[in-house]
Amino acid sequence: MQQLKSHCRRGRRAGFSLAELMVVIVIIGLLATMVVPRLFDSFGDAQVTKAKADLTVIDSAILRFATNNSGRFPDTLEQLITPDQNGQTYLDRTTVPKDPWNNEYIYYPPRGGESSPTLMSYGKDGSQGGEGKDRDFSIQMIKNQEI
């Protein structure tokens, strides 16, 4: 009989009370409300960083193309991945990269007296204009350290 009583006492004391569980849940909820927004901001920053890196690599490939072709810039970014008569490509990829939001990078060769091509991303919204995470950014902005 003594063994049965001591076993029952241990069984009642073995778990957490409802109040203790509620305190833990509230603490986890408070931590989540502080941490989750920061994680999303970090993810957005990582996307911009990736786009900046892509634009820098593509710009370098465009300049190498122009150097090897007597100053003539490619008409499209596809020319950077298409092997030339020597089998050389300018981007070490099989496809032209897309921006982190799965949109095509915008490219225009120099026109009407311009000395450099236009290379940019329209940002998260994928359309011209915008502010914050939707803002457009270009290789010129990167070179000028505006972003």
What pLDDT was estimated at residue 1? Answer: 52
Q: Give the chain's domain count.
A: 1
The CATH number of residue 76's host domain is: 3.30.700.10
Bridge partners of 137, per DSSP, are 121
- Tokens describing residue 40: 């999303």
Residue 60's domain comprises 2-143
pLDDT per 10-residue tile (average), the chain, 147 residues? 54 76 89 77 79 94 93 94 88 92 94 87 89 86 88
Instruction: State the Cα–Cα distance between residues 62 and 66, nearest whole angstrom.
Output: 6
What pLDDT was estimated at residue 13? Answer: 63
Instruction: State the Cα–Cα distance between residues 89 and 93, nearest whole angstrom.
Output: 9
What pLDDT was estimated at residue 106? Answer: 95
What pLDDT was estimated at residue 31? Answer: 85
